[in-house]
């Protein structure tokens, strides 16, 4: 595609705050990069993907409020993590993390263990983790 044909559909979810580089053929016939704010099909797919993630976060919060899950479960989804990443940040096995999702085991965590989660989730302190509801 030519430089002037690079999509500039500014109805994207980032509201023009981000741009990505696209390759296009310049006036001289050589490839060049052009900044694009996006194009409609990609914007639709990205919005749908974020809607799915936000639904997971909302569901995790409901489970937290109902007492079925611990704050770690909520922040796990809120921070868009997967089990491997959280295990790497905390040093806990995946099995232990899954146990910490349960309020019964969350209440037994030591200050040192809680601090590992505070670090992993980028929180200020333990209170932010413990007093989420």
Please give the average per-residue pLDDT across 48-74, as a whole number.
97
* 54 and 16 housed in the same domain: no
Report yes or no: 100 and 72 within 8 Å, Cβ to Cβ.
yes
Q: 60 in helix, strand or coil?
A: helix
For the segment 68-79, what is each residue's pLDDT rounded down to a tens digit?
999 999 999 999
Residue 70 bridge partners (DSSP): none
Q: Are residues 66 and 24 in the same domain?
A: no
68 and 107 together in one domain: yes
Backbone angles phi, psi at 62, to 5 degrees: -65, -40
Shared domain for 61 and 31, answered yes or no, is: no
Residue 46: the pLDDT is 83
Question: Per residue in 3-24, is it b (16+ CB within 10 Å) or e — as a string?
Answer: eeebbeeeebeeeeeeeeebeb
Residues 52 and 72 in one domain: yes
Q: Which residue segment(s) compose the domain that 87 sits in?
A: 48-130
pLDDT, greater one: 24 or 57:
57
Q: pTM (2 decimals)?
A: 0.76
Q: Please state the domain count of the chain.
A: 2
């Amino acid at each position: 595609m030519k430089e002037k044909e690079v999509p500039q559909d500014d109805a994207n979810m980032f509201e023009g705050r981000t741009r990505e580089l696209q390759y296009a053929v310049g006036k001289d016939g050589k490839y060049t990069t052009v900044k694009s704010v996006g194009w409609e099909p990609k914007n639709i797919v990205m919005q749908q993907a974020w809607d799915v993630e936000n639904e997971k976060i909302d569901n995790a919060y409901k489970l937290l409020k109902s007492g079925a899950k611990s704050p770690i479960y909520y922040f796990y989804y809120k921070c868009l993590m997967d089990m491997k990443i959280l295990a790497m940040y905390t040093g806990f096995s995946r099995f232990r993390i899954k146990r910490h999702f349960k309020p019964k085991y969350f209440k037994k965590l030591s200050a040192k263990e809680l601090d590992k989660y505070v670090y992993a989730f980028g929180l200020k302190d333990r209170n932010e983790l413990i007093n989420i509801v």
